[in-house]
Chain A
């Protein structure tokens, strides 16, 4: 038996080795991945990022070179540090600090020593750089915003974060990616596809040539240029009018769904988020939690729509056959239901039909209309669902499925929404506030603008979108097909007539523009804030929706000015001016223009934070901007006028 010791050992060791090999090569094998292989180094070739043009072909966003001074600490030789620092405009303590940090990161790999050297400095540096061994200049590409407008539209690019790196393997550490706006929603179109070269390395990390003669290498694909639907001039004009106010303006071309202007106030210069100051500026904007400049109010601001929503109730009433345009409702300076009362600013005993009801924005008329809609079949639960379905067909209460990077759903309630609040009985009076666009209804400015566009088109809309064209590519079909509402075409005429009368003799008659038939609707929305855990009413929001001209509409828009009080006070003025500007290309209502530039709402916004008791609405006074600010705004306006 003695001979079996070695015999057995040989067989055992053979089996042991094979099982170890199985463990190493099959069980723990994670595939041959060129990116995981530390003997292969992928080197990326970045394509040019696409340019962005406005609807008229004006260049809005291009690229600019930026120069970073890089250092490889191991290669740094002795030289005149003072001269070097003077050239770079840094002090010697910065020099030693950065060099130390680079050394800690890696003595052999390059680190950024000074980022974003200006073009002028680069020219000087370039000639002298060879004197400073271990340092070299690396070129990078940054965005250049040609005009200081549309920060919320265009967005910005920044380095990818850890989450993106994990989720999207395309991006590598240090890559740039669109973070907001068009840069984010058209990221893939604009960025192109970077090329990759695989380099074989040895264990000292030296390159020893291309891996397999470049068999796996790819060429970069250039980013595509895009045209967006924004009219840069209208956008700039809107931003100017909205200065010193908060809110949003969305203007849409009804015949195409193209967004002509998208103003979010307050805004900022998009060039603030480029280059060396980016992170500092971003932090500043990000932590401004009071005016929230990064919050896109025209897309994400959910507000109760107020009176413009009465248009919707009128349309539903007509469609459901519970109203006729001629039917009159008596206003008792309000509307009494049960033992409660909803006030109205009509005089007592006024008998409104639909047109004058819209024109005067009569609460009593629309409360009656709303109740008739809900109680049509004697069942308010069924009625509210029908009502909700009609409203949703205008794109309210849902994301619009568009190409904007952010958005909000808003809310159009149905019976299901109320099931916890009213589990058993449900009467039309319970939700009567919805009649006048308050209560549980909420919309975003872009949804309201889209509603206006659907009314302007007499029954259909195009999904509002921002892409006009992509270099040798078509835009998605969902932006070019009509979306029909559930309201028949003929029911729009009385409502549009009512909106026309709002301008002719109703709540917006002071805002008429010569030669343009504007249809509009004012809105004044109560709003509340929680201050020291007490629900406190603030000055009403000023809202306006409009389209023009009445026949063959060119523009539909929604304007929202926070705490602007009644609809025609701020929002209506902005709307009228933007309509005139878009249709005529110039403005004649200089009085409105001047009024808007002169007035600010900053004191309104400061009130809730002042810690002192304050007055609202009728008890407030207008606040004027100081002379210097006024001059600045005038100058800006003159420049805009001159350019056109």
Chain B
């Protein structure tokens, strides 16, 4: 292979090019969504597009640094990196800056840093390190609990800082664990719980319980050897309990604004007057974002020509709602391009991960793909109204220095590890 002979080609250029394309296209859309006057000064750092350009330029410094460090460093120091990262999260409770109700930022000079973004990469390293340890057996409950502890620690810390979106991202590690041999029943239980939860809210707990009961009994009648009567009764009690529990949780534990988001997502609200009311209040963003995307049509209105973008109809458009700018100005073609770029990047990373000889690199690669995938799924799904509103950015695409750098670190550590796979340790 070329890259074995030529040191310039030892990095996976496909991944790098996909990464650069996403960043560049993201920058164009941030420029369109955030400029407020006709005159554009590209390096005006009082404007988001100016800052983003600076962030992007600094990214190249980070990339050079990351690729320059010895690949073994990342494995050896993964525990240290994780601990430092956790400390930085804890430090937020003392020194954090509150923005929009979340205490997720450190203010350094005129800049803000969001450690929770970097914590994702640190956790991916730590998980890879722990699972790849020869003493670890993922089928052993004790080790499972330890792995969960590594994942839940940062998740809990960001939840306490009121950053629900980032907490959900840690769910991504399920894909990693499953790949590495987590017993199948976790997957079955997880999917069943999800179905029961949605069923309980949409159809009501009684119908859901009956459905679950009938299915379990039918399963028991067909496969008498696999499941005992006691087990099936236990399962039925569990699903009935879960469906009523979810309903109770929705009605009495969730805050009204969370209830509203779920009720909008599952189309539980039928009253048109109330729906109109929703569109004006908490669903305003979503409504405007869907309208902006829809108004783009097949080819879009053209770069910097979006009327809704120019009129700043979609709040937070350059951050979480950046995809609506793509929709309005670049249309179906542009949006499909973005989706395809992300899908290709993810498949490429997964493909490379499977090629790794070292278990650490493979697990880490899986972690990278899982984290990017969850962001991609939740962000675009939310902007198009497919899933409830959860505020997380589109990786490498949305405005924000911490996010961009964190994803750069996440991806380029993997590229470095990958470049090293032929040099055995």
Contacts and interface: CB of A to CB of B under 8 A. Distances in A.
Given A5-B179, A7-B347, A10-B350, A200 B386 contact: no
B373 A21 contact: no
A29 B315 CA distance: 22
Contact of B298 (A3, A7, A26, A200): A26
A7 B295 CA distance: 32
Given A21-B339, A26-B298, A200 B310 contact: yes
A37 B301 CA distance: 12
A208 B297 CA distance: 25
B335 A25 contact: yes
A24 B290 contact: yes
A17 B332 CA distance: 11
Nearest to B176: A6
Contact of A29 (B297, B305, B347, B384): B297
Interface string B360-385: 00000010011001001100110010
A39 B292 CA distance: 10
Given A11-B343, A17-B384, A202-B311, 13 more contacts: A2-B178, A10-B343, A13-B343, A13-B373, A14-B342, A14-B343, A24-B327, A37-B295, A39-B308, A39-B310, A202-B313, A203-B315, A208-B311
A374 to B, nearest CB: 67
B123 to A, nearest CB: 17
Interface in A1-34: 2-3, 5-7, 9-11, 13-14, 16-18, 20-22, 24-26, 28-29, 31-32
16 contacts: A6-B350, A6-B366, A9-B373, A17-B381, A21-B293, A24-B384, A25-B332, A29-B298, A37-B295, A37-B307, A39-B307, A201-B311, A202-B311, A203-B311, A208-B311, A212-B305
Contacts of A211: 307
B384 A6 contact: no
A39 B301 CA distance: 13
Interface residues of A, number: 34
A9 B370 CA distance: 10
A31 B332 CA distance: 13
Nearest to B336: A18
A29 B307 CA distance: 16
B331 interface: yes
Contacts of B181: 2
A9 B178 CA distance: 13
B312 interface: yes
A24 B293 contact: yes
A21 B340 contact: no
B143 interface: no
A7 B181 CA distance: 16
A118 B307 CA distance: 42
B411 interface: no
Contacts of B343: 10-11, 13-14
Nearest to B353: A3
B179 A25 contact: no
A17 B335 CA distance: 9
B147 to A, nearest CB: 16
A24 B307 contact: no
Q: Is the interface of B mostly helix, strand, loop or mixed?
A: helix
Interface in B175-191: 175, 178-179, 181, 187
Contact of B179 (A6, A18, A37): A6
Contacts of A21: 293, 327, 332, 335-336, 339, 384
B311 A200 contact: yes
B12 interface: no
A2 B175 CA distance: 9
Contact of B332 (A14, A22, A200): A22
B26 interface: no
Contact of B339 (A17, A26, A32, A39): A17
Contacts of B346: 10
A25 B337 CA distance: 14
B96 interface: no
A25 B331 contact: yes
A49 B343 CA distance: 61
Nearest to A201: B311
B370 A6 contact: yes
A26 B307 contact: no
B137 interface: no
Contacts of B336: 18, 21
Interface centre among A16, A39, A212 (most CB of B within 10 A): A39
A40 interface: yes
A17 to B, nearest CB: 5
Nearest to B300: A25
A3 B366 CA distance: 9
Interface in B187-237: 187
Nearest to B372: A10
B39 to A, nearest CB: 13
B339 A18 contact: yes
Interface string B373-406: 1001100110010100000000000000000000
Interface in B317-342: 327, 331-332, 335-336, 339-340, 342
Contacts of B354: 3
B294 interface: yes
Interface in A365-393: none
A16 B386 contact: yes
A25 B293 contact: yes
B48 interface: no
Nearest to A9: B373
A548 B377 CA distance: 90
Contacts of B50: none
Nearest to B292: A39
Contacts of A2: 178-179, 181
Interface in A185-222: 200-203, 208, 211-212
Contacts of A13: 343, 373, 376-377, 381
Nearest 3 CB-CB pairs, A to B? Answer: A39-B311, A14-B343, A39-B307
A28 B332 CA distance: 12
Contact of B307 (A10, A18, A20, A40): A40
B296 interface: yes
A39 B317 CA distance: 15
A201 B377 CA distance: 32
B294 A25 contact: yes
Contacts of A18: 336, 339
Given A9-B373, A14-B343, A18-B336, A25 B327 contact: yes
A40 B310 CA distance: 10
A7 B294 contact: no
Contacts of A22: 332
Contacts of B293: 21, 24-25
Interface string A100-141: 000000000000000000000000000000000000000000
Interface centre among B307, B347, B350, B369 (most CB of A within 10 A): B307
B297 A3 contact: no
B127 to A, nearest CB: 15
Interface in A158-208: 200-203, 208
Given A3-B354, A20-B386, A21-B336, A29 B294 contact: yes
Nearest to A204: B312
A200 B308 CA distance: 9
Nearest to A41: B311
B35 to A, nearest CB: 12
Contacts of B327: 21, 24-25
A10 B373 contact: yes
B347 A10 contact: yes
Contacts of A14: 339-340, 342-343
Given A21-B384, A24-B293, A25-B298, A6 B175 contact: yes
Nearest to A16: B386
